[in-house]
């Protein structure tokens, strides 16, 4: 019985905004914070070689879970009737091979960028991975749905992937592997334009009628989230652009706290500011 509910997409896409900032969401936030702090201090006690091994295992699991989800979607399409959600799709479907969503793209680009040491991609991939991880933790539409206390593979998949999209770049920034710099803002802009163009290509040409990056429809319209629930389709993109820009600005400034001695330097500056 447990396996039949675990390997299932039942409930996906249902009640996706009903649990925002309710007890299930607070529990999800708490577990992410505890896991982040615990894993951070665990890795900091290890040497770089051990850290790399653990990070590589996490990156491999990101890819395994990504495609395990796709296998489940394909299996349900051919073997479950009636189909229990909007996610099952045939094997020869675009969603099997490519993604038009930010997190779907970054959970492929992040391992590739790290393993092949692609410096030119680090600025965009690290920043967008952090943004994607934070977005799902704050608005867990792919984690809390249906019955939020029924654990399924898609929930584990989304929780694990987005946690490490946030954790890994910040940990590597702390280790000095990369530094997010405002001087490389153009790399972020170019990457964002390409991602939006790719998503629109999917919405209008490849996967017609889809809502990749929520560019076509506002899924939060009329929901419980202030401001996001107020903008009709189309107009919501203006607000989304503002949110994304603010998000990247916060990530750039916030990432400094995760650099080596970043928090200590911030506290010292704060103390000096109070004295003056």
In the structure encoding, which two tokens stand for residue 105, read together? 């793209």
Q: What is the mean pLDDT of residues 143-163?
A: 89
Q: What is the pLDDT of residues 257-275, one digit of tens each?
A: 999 877 777 777 766 666 6
* Residue count of the chain: 276
Give Cα 234 distance to the centre of its chain: 23
Q: What is the pLDDT of residues 16-74, one digit of tens each?
A: 777 888 899 999 999 999 999 999 999 999 999 999 999 999 999 999 999 999 999 99
What angle, rounded to 10 degrees, do the helices at 119-138 and 236-258 form? 110
Cβ partners under 8 Å of residue 36, min gap 6: 163, 166, 167
What value does the CA radius of gyration of the chain take, rounded to a whole number of Å?
A: 20
What was the pLDDT predicted at 50? 98
In the structure encoding, which two tokens stand for residue 129, read together? 């991975």
* Rounded distance between C-alpha atoms, residue 88 and residue 120, angstroms: 35
Q: What is the mean pLDDT of residues 251-262?
A: 90
In the structure encoding, which two tokens stand for residue 162, read together? 């987005």
Mean pLDDT is lowest, of 55-69, 177-191, 212-226, for: 212-226
Burial of 117 (0-12, 13-18, 19+ CB in 10 A): exposed
Could you identify the residue written with the tokens 């940990």? Answer: 171
Tell me how many degrees the CA angle 163-248-222 measures, rounded to the nearest 5: 75
Examine the pLDDT at 1 and tell me if it is beyond 50. no
Domain that holds residue 227: 2-275
Q: What is the mean pLDDT of residues 178-199?
A: 94
* Rounded distance between C-alpha atoms, residue 73 and residue 18, angstroms: 24
With cut-offs at 50, 70 and 90, classify the pLDDT of residue 158.
Answer: very high
Checking 152-155 for CB contacts under 8 A at 24+ apart, the result is 152/5, 152/6, 152/7, 152/8, 152/9, 152/10, 152/11, 153/6, 153/7, 153/8, 153/68, 153/69, 153/72, 154/9, 154/12, 154/69, 154/72, 154/87
Task: Quote the longest CA-to-CA distance of the chain.
Answer: 70
Mean pLDDT is lowest, of 82-86, 139-143, 205-209, for: 82-86
What was the pLDDT predicted at 271? 66
With cut-offs at 50, 70 and 90, classify the pLDDT of residue 10.
Answer: confident
Examine the pLDDT at 130 and tell me if it is beyond 90. yes
In the structure encoding, which two tokens stand for residue 200, read together? 């629109």
Domain count, the chain: 1
């Amino acid at each position: 019985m447990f396996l039949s509910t675990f390997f299932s997409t039942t409930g996906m896409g249902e009640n996706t905004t009903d649990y925002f900032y309710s007890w299930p969401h607070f529990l999800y936030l708490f577990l992410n914070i505890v896991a982040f702090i615990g894993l951070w201090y665990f890795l900091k006690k290890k040497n770089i070689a051990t850290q790399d091994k653990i990070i590589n295992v996490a990156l491999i699991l990101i890819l395994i879970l990504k495609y395990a989800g796709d296998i489940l979607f394909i299996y349900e399409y051919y073997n479950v009737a009636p189909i229990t959600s909007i996610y099952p799709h045939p094997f020869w479907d675009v969603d099997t091979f490519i993604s038009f969503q930010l997190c779907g793209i970054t959970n492929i680009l992040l391992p590739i960028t790290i393993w092949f040491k692609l410096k030119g991609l680090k600025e965009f991939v690290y920043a967008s991975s952090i943004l994607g991880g934070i977005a799902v933790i704050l608005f867990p539409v792919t984690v809390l749905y249906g019955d939020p206390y029924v654990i399924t593979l898609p929930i584990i998949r989304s929780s694990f992937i987005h946690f490490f999209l946030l954790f890994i770049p910040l940990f590597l920034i702390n280790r000095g592997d990369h530094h997010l710099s405002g001087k490389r803002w153009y790399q972020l802009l170019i990457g964002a334009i390409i991602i939006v163009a790719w998503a629109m290509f999917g919405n209008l040409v490849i996967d017609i009628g889809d809502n990749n990056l929520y560019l076509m429809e506002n899924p939060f319209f009329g929901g419980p989230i202030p401001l996001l629930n107020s903008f009709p389709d189309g107009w919501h993109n203006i607000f989304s652009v503002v949110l994304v820009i603010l998000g990247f600005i916060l990530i750039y400034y916030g990432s400094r706290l995760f650099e080596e001695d970043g928090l200590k330097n911030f506290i010292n500056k704060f103390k000096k500011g109070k004295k003056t």
